[in-house]
């Protein structure tokens, strides 16, 4: 079991550029979550999918953010255009069920995004 795989581990970009973060969930997990972690706001849920379908995107900060899950083994989080306030660590997590009664959330190691 390779765990949840995120890429890249670090991303440094200039304001206005497009950023794409990638996630490969654990095989067989039917839920996928994107979180953002900052010192000021802690860990925030951005969006989650069930069987590749977006269920709740109310945490997505604004239209500059979009997420897709074209198949069960891949998801992307895109920011276009990026802004300095988007600098954070972005985590992807997957689970069987909602991470409550079934299996826990399994987190990737995160992507540290810096927008200058």
> Which residues contribute to the site for other proteins (CB under 8 A)?
4, 42-43, 45, 48, 50, 55-56, 91, 93, 98-101, 104-110
Shortest separation between residue 52's beta carbon and other proteins, angstroms: 15
* 32: β partners: 49, 94
Shortest separation between residue 108's beta carbon and other proteins, angstroms: 5
Q: Closest CB to other proteins among 31 and 65?
A: 31
Q: Closest CB to other proteins among 14 and 56?
A: 56
Q: Closest CB to other proteins among 16 and 61?
A: 61
77 φ/ψ angles, rounded to the nearest 5 degrees: -125, 120
Report helix, strand or coil for 84: helix
Q: Closest CB to other proteins among 48 and 65?
A: 48
Shortest separation between residue 13's beta carbon and other proteins, angstroms: 20
How many CB atoms within 10 Å of residue 44? 13
| DSSP one-letter code for 110 | -
Distances (CA, A) of 94 to 12, 17, 39, 70, 100: 25, 28, 23, 15, 12
Shortest separation between residue 42's beta carbon and other proteins, angstroms: 4
């Amino acid at each position: 079991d390779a765990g949840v795989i995120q890429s890249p581990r670090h991303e440094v970009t200039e304001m206005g550029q497009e950023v794409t973060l990638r996630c490969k969930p654990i095989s067989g997990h039917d839920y996928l979550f994107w979180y953002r972690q900052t010192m000021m706001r802690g860990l925030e849920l951005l969006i989650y999918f069930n069987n590749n379908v977006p269920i709740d995107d109310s945490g997505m900060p604004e239209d500059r953010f979009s997420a897709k899950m074209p198949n069960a083994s891949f998801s992307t989080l895109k920011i276009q255009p990026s802004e300095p306030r988007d600098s954070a660590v972005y985590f992807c997590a997957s689970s069987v069920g909602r991470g409550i009664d079934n299996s826990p959330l399994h987190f990737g190691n995160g992507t540290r995004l810096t927008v200058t």
